[in-house]
Amino acid sequence: MDNEALIDSFSDFKYEKNIDRVNLMAILEESIRCVLRKKYDSSKNYDIIVNPDQGDLEIWRNRIVVKDGLIQDINKEIELSTARKIEPDFEIGEEVTEKVELKSLGRRSILSLKQNLLSKINEYDNTNTYNKFKKKIGEILNVEVYHILSKNVIVRDEEQNEMILPKKEQIPNDFFRKGDILKTLIKKVEWKDNKPLVILTRKDEKFLEELFKLEIPEVSDGLITVKKVSRIPGEKAKIAVESYDDRIDPVGACVGIKGSRIHPIVRELKNENIDIINYTSNIQLYITRSMNPAKISMMEINEKNKYVNIYVKPEEISKAIGRHGQNIKLASQITGYKIHVFKDYLYENYREDVELEEFSDEINPLIIKKFRDVGLHTAKSILDSKKENLIKQTNFDINVINKILYILKKEFEEEINENNI
């Protein structure tokens, strides 16, 4: 193999692996120096000039002129008589520079050069791939199913990089065929057998958050923020969203007209039921919203130990807990509070609860709105709250609170008296 043939061979690698010019030159020079070190124990006295764009490769060896018969290192020294055959006016101590052809290194050295070159190119390519995907952890990636195994699905991206989607990272209802295009999330990148291994997921909570960014412009633009996500993949999810712009309804924007925005996400997640919650820093209201569709009669919050006791009407128990305990589990995850649900036995003596709007002839509508804004929608929810909590939540003075409580209590006392007649 001559110098030009090596450059041509190397150019094939360049276009196949998409190596930039600077790294191309560095890899080729280091590979040649590695072969020279093996053959002569040193490559320091060699100048290597690489110009892959023009197909040029030059190797120059520098040796010091010594007296005939006094050579100690044939790689670094040259006899005076030999040097003067190159140029007649050389003197002892001067440096002689000669061009070296690859074929002069011998067949074994050239074979070693090719192997070393291939090894360094693969090492560069693997490192480049690892770093590229390391930066993309947490991003959505479209891939094509390439091979289906019992524990993993092998997929490829548009650049034909192979990755794995483990069984444990798939949604339970996922079913794939070769050639299917699917959305995944890059979960992590690790080394295996000196090669980068990209591991994907469809079960991670981050996957749902990234789908929202993909499908909902206000989320991708930062007008709506995803505050918290909790999922039981393929079954049910709750996602809390918030907008810093009062003109934007975050829940409505995420759902879209007639569900146009949420439906593609639900389909991608194999009909996963998604509850979108309007986030609030008011923990009582936040817990109330997170327990949807159950209606809460009363709650006792222990902020120190992060748990809450919730009381609901008997017919609301199943809604609060949800199928296989899904609703209460997700509500606990998204609020950060351990939630306990209890039956409200007071409802056995009272009639059905009364919406606050039914008292609009006795209570100012603005007062009713204030109660509703803090999550108190019914008469019973106010009656079961402590006075100091009502004052703190609404900023009404004690006289207003006492008057409201009197009106509401009178309604239920009349009902109880009628039932006892």
What would the two tokens of residue 14 be?
């360049």
Show the domain range for 377. Answer: 349-420
Same domain, 333 and 353: no
Radius of gyration, CA atoms only, the chain: 38
Write down the pTM of the prediction.
Answer: 0.65
Same domain, 12 and 126: yes
Q: Judge whether 141 lies within some domain.
A: no
Can you give the pLDDT at residue 346? 56
d(CA 149, CA 154): 8
Q: Judge whether 206 lies within some domain.
A: no
Same domain, 274 and 285: no
Q: Which residues contact 346 (CB under 8 A, 6 or more apart)?
A: 297, 380, 384
**How many C-beta neighbours within 10 Å does residue 167 have?**
12
Q: Judge whether 67 lies within some domain.
A: yes
Q: Judge whether 139 lies within some domain.
A: no
Name the domain boundary from 71, 104, 132.
132
Same domain, 240 and 319: no
What would the two tokens of residue 275 be?
């509850």
Output the tens digit of pLDDT for each of the chain's 421 residues: 455 556 555 555 555 556 666 777 788 888 888 888 887 888 888 888 877 666 567 888 899 999 988 888 888 888 899 888 888 888 899 998 888 887 777 777 777 777 777 788 888 888 889 999 999 999 999 999 999 998 999 999 998 899 999 999 999 989 999 999 999 999 999 999 888 999 999 999 999 999 999 999 999 999 999 999 999 999 999 999 999 888 899 999 999 999 999 999 999 999 999 999 999 999 999 999 999 999 998 888 998 899 999 998 888 889 999 988 999 999 999 999 999 998 876 555 444 678 888 888 888 888 988 888 888 888 888 888 888 888 888 889 899 999 988 888 877 665 434 443 3
Same domain, 10 and 126: yes
Same domain, 305 and 262: no
Same domain, 25 and 118: yes
d(CA 395, CA 378): 18
Roughly how many angstroms between the first and final C-alpha of the chain, as a whole number?
A: 112
Name the domain boundary from 79, 109, 132.
132
Same domain, 221 and 289: no
Same domain, 100 and 10: yes
Can you give the pLDDT at residue 342? 87
Q: Judge whether 142 lies within some domain.
A: no
Can you give the pLDDT at residue 37? 83
Can you give the pLDDT at residue 420? 35
Q: How many domains does the chain have?
A: 5
Q: 368, 357 in Cβ contact below 8 A? A: yes
Sheet strands (E) in 15-132: 46-51, 56-66, 77-79, 95-100
Find, among 266, 192, 196, the residue nearest to 234 by Cα. 266
Can you give the pLDDT at residue 418? 41
How is 217-259 classified by DSSP, letter by letter? HHHHTTSEEEEEEEEETTTEEEEEEEESSTT--HHHHHH-GGG
Same domain, 356 and 406: yes
328: amino acid identity, one letter: I
Same domain, 285 and 275: no
Find, among 10, 103, 102, the residue nearest to 53 by Cα. 10
10 Å CB burial of residue 341 (0-12, 13-18, 19+) is buried
Q: At what angle do helices 107-134 and 21-40 cross, to 10 degrees?
A: 140
